[in-house]
Amino acid sequence: MKVTGQCHCGNIRYEAEVDAATVRVCHCSDCQRLTGSAFRTNVATLPGTFRLLSGTPKVYLKTAESGNKRAHGFCPDCGTPLYATSPDPNPASYGLRVGGLDQRAELPPPARQIWCRSALPWAMDITRIARIETQ
């Protein structure tokens, strides 16, 4: 599926082909910290399809518990998280942050949730929390 995305301030714009079956939620503590939220939602691009249309992301190199390094791209102006990928020069695939995609509501629901051992206890089921259409 073809997707387009941008950061909040519009400095960074990008496009890619994603595998819609790879939408997933990550409850790891790194994603909590890096998003400032309870969990992150990602989708994987098809190899070689990610293309920047404008702007230059700033890259934060994160070292995982396993020792793997991931390059996290974000907007240097507004801070929007954009993607994570291999730090190699020609990365095969990008994990796009679903919230930045223009088609985020058209993607299917996540197929799985990972790192549930570090999920915030309430985040595994928000169906009972009061629902209000606006703030």
* Chain positions contacting Zn ion, by CB under 5 A: 7, 9, 11, 26, 28, 31, 75, 77-78
- By C-beta, is 16 or 84 nearer to Zn ion? 84
Query: CA–CA separation, 50 vs 100, rounded Å?
Result: 14
User: Do 86 and 50 form a contact (C-beta atoms < 8 A)?
Assistant: no
Residue among 72, 68, 74, 116 at smallest CA distance from 94: 72
- Comparing CA positions, the residue from 130, 119, 126, 135 lying closest to residue 38 is 119
CB of 50 to Zn ion, least distance (A): 17
Smallest gap from residue 131 Cβ to Zn ion (A): 26
Shortest Cβ 25–Zn ion spacing (Å): 9
Nearer to Zn ion (CB atom), residue 40 or residue 107: 40
**In the complex with Zn ion, which residue's Cβ is closer, 98 or 131?**
98
The DSSP letter of residue 133 is S
